[in-house]
Amino acid sequence: MKFSKIHSDLFIPDSLSNSEALSRTTHLGVGAHQDDLEFMALHGILECFQQADQWFSGVTCTDGAGSSRTGPYATVSDEEMKGVRMSEQRTAAVVGQYGFMAQLGFPSAEVKDSSKRSSLVDELEQILRASRPQFVYTHNPFDKHSTHIGVFLALREAILRLPEDNRPERLIGCEVWRCLDWIPDSLKVVQGLDRHPNLAAALNGVFDSQITGGKRYDLAVEGRRLANATFFDSHSTDQSTRVAYAVDLTQLILDESLTVEAFAAEMLESFRKEVGDLLASLS
């Protein structure tokens, strides 16, 4: 397993060989930044936690240099922050019992630029071929963070390079920088997150450089999960205490002719129709 960036890292918490660690992966999370996996792909982490036959593994694509910082991290340089964030992500991998944790160390500018993204696509393809996960969690195409969209596009390109029978069974787009509560319920992927609430809190708290550094992601993510659980259905009691929403992106890795823009437009049209039909029925 060879990565191109100086700040790349492949970490295996239980010290298994690289090939064994990658090949045991059943659930793979691919995120832009350190902490994205823990905030958006908790469902996959919980599915695999303490399971002998299921393993969650993670890929973080960027180097963490552009993180916001105040308080005790206010004077930390970009180079120092890369090390801090890499260490935090390794700690999360230990806490969550990940099969492996790959940090690719790309600058965000390269991820966002389609003319400079090819190396990232190559490395994601390399990981996918070695791990062959059944389920992949990543950013959704409605996210408003451009680096997240760059990672999603790179991942889709990498998956489409694989033979069809080697592609993941399911590609799941998760919430981070935009909620997915607007998606019609018939199209939502509703992920109950009730198991191991202490694990979710521990994973959130690992990223002290962000929380103490000025962004209360831990509170925001927990608030979103609680709100999703309560506001999912107005006519029944809550079925879960914590819920994450996602969108099924599998069609985008089965049909190479389907553009992301067309997929997004179809989802938005479903939302427009749902709102329009309800208004019309009550007018």
Q: In this structure, what CATH number is given to the domain that contains residue 184?
A: 3.40.50.10320
Q: What is the pLDDT of residues 94-107, one digit of tens each?
A: 999 999 999 999 99
Please compute the mean of the pLDDT values over residues 209-220 and round it to a whole number. Answer: 85
User: Quick check: 237 pLDDT over 90?
Assistant: no
Q: What is the pLDDT of residue 247?
A: 98
Q: Which of 63-67, 143-147, 267-271 has the lowest mean pLDDT?
A: 63-67
Q: For residues 242 and 267, what is the distance between their CA atoms, to the nearest angstrom? A: 24
Residue 280 lies inside a defined structural domain of this protein:
no
* Residue 160: count of CB within 10 angstroms of its CB: 16
Residue 199 lies inside a defined structural domain of this protein:
yes
Mean pLDDT of the chain: 94
Q: What is the pLDDT of residue 76?
A: 85
Q: What is the pLDDT of residue 120?
A: 98
Residue 214 lies inside a defined structural domain of this protein:
yes
Q: For residues 269 and 12, what is the distance between their CA atoms, to the nearest angstrom? A: 43
pTM: 0.95
- Residue 234: phi and psi, rounded to 5, are -80, -10
Residue 276 lies inside a defined structural domain of this protein:
no
Q: How far is the CA of 166 from the CAs of 125, 126, 175, 249, 253, in angstroms?
A: 11, 12, 26, 17, 11
Residue 272 lies inside a defined structural domain of this protein:
no
3-state secondary structure of 266: helix
3-state secondary structure of 213: coil
Residue 90 lies inside a defined structural domain of this protein:
yes
User: Quick check: 71 pLDDT over 80?
Assistant: no
Q: What is the pLDDT of residue 256?
A: 94
User: Quick check: 183 pLDDT over 90?
Assistant: yes
Give the confidence band of 136 by pLDDT, cuts at 50, 70, 90.
Answer: very high
User: Quick check: 17 pLDDT over 90?
Assistant: yes
User: Quick check: 55 pLDDT over 80?
Assistant: yes
Residue 71 lies inside a defined structural domain of this protein:
yes
Q: What is the pLDDT of residue 159?
A: 98
Structural domain of 174: 9-258
Domain count, the chain: 1
Please compute the mean of the pLDDT values over residues 8-21 and round it to a whole number. Answer: 95
Residue 268 lies inside a defined structural domain of this protein:
no
3-state secondary structure of 192: strand
| 158 Cβ neighbours under 8 A, 6+ residues apart | 121, 122, 124, 125, 128
Please compute the mean of the pLDDT values over residues 190-204 and round it to a whole number. Answer: 93
Q: How far is the CA of 161 from the CAs of 51, 128, 244, in angstroms?
A: 30, 10, 30
